[in-house]
């Protein structure tokens, strides 16, 4: 199997979420895809099933931010100072066929190992050890550590979380590393390369740089961006 390392892109929230979904819908057998991407303006994303009425009170007051519902589950994620990535696996890959908790654990083991190589004391949250910061609401990603999230071995603070979606074409894994929780300086270019290499080894894949797929070009993206930016998508839950 090949693991295509797609180009880094900076985009708005709706465009980033549309791109991940389109990469899932166009996933081809024998190839996995990995991408790290950035945000054009400060942004938050929230889980597919979260009511907008629960999300809005958690946003920062007095600051202009973009907000977009993800196709994946999980809670509200603050992307103002994170390292965001997407992993797309085709239908039939062993990781795609695993239970969600196990695929979550394996991806986060690779992520934690890449952080440890940078001097970050990263460990996985044990099963049945969910923690929540006292007085803060549920449904906000980096205020609650779930089973197999990546946490600091020193402080217990959550460092990385993710959410998944399975479709007939394969699996989308969207993840985020919260930089404020690391406690040490990180060489993000080296970290990204190391994380991708560890993912490739875990997947049994050959990793290499690849161009953006033709089937996920502007013509295919435009209607999805419109969908992800719409009030119907973001508020009708």
Residue range 98-110, pLDDT digits in tens: 999 999 999 999 9
Domain at 124, CATH number: 3.30.930.10
Domain assignment of residue 56, given as a range: 2-235
Contact 86, 27 (CB under 8 A): no
User: Mean pLDDT per segment of 10 residues, for the chain of length 237 residues?
Assistant: 96 98 92 97 97 95 96 96 98 93 97 98 82 46 78 95 96 97 96 98 97 95 98 89
Task: Report the pLDDT value the prediction gives residue 8, as an integer from 0 to 100.
Answer: 98
Contact 7, 211 (CB under 8 A): yes
* Tens-place pLDDT, residues 126-169: 976 554 444 444 455 445 788 999 999 999 999 999 999 999 99
Q: Which 3 state secondary structure label does DSSP give 161?
A: strand
pTM score over 0.85? yes
Count of structural domains within the chain: 1
Q: Is 156 left (phi over 0), alpha (psi -120 to 50) or beta?
A: left
Contact 147, 127 (CB under 8 A): yes
């Amino acid at each position: 199997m090949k693991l295509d390392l797609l180009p880094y892109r900076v985009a708005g929230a709706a465009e980033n979420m549309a791109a991940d979904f389109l990469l899932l819908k166009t996933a081809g057998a024998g190839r996995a895809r990995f991408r790290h991407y950035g945000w054009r303006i400060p942004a938050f994303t929230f889980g597919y099933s979260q009511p907008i009425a629960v999300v809005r009170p958690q946003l920062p007051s007095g600051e202009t931010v973009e907000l977009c519902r993800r196709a994946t589950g999980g809670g509200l994620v603050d992307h103002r100072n994170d390292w965001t990535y997407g992993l797309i696996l085709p239908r039939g890959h062993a990781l795609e066929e695993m239970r969600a908790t196990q695929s979550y654990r394996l991806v986060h083991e690779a992520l934690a190992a890449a952080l440890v190589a940078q001097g970050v004391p990263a460990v996985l949250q044990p099963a049945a050890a969910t923690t929540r910061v006292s007085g803060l609401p549920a449904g906000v990603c980096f205020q609650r550590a779930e089973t197999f999230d990546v946490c600091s071995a020193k402080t217990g603070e959550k460092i990385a979380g993710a959410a998944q979606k399975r479709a007939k074409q394969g699996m989308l894994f969207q993840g985020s590393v919260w930089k404020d929780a690391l406690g040490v300086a990180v060489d993000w270019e080296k970290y990204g390369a190391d994380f991708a290499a560890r993912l490739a080894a875990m997947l049994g894949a050959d990793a290499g740089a690849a161009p953006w797929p033709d089937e996920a070009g502007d013509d295919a993206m435009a209607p999805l961006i419109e969908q992800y930016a719409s009030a119907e998508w973001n508020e009708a839950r």
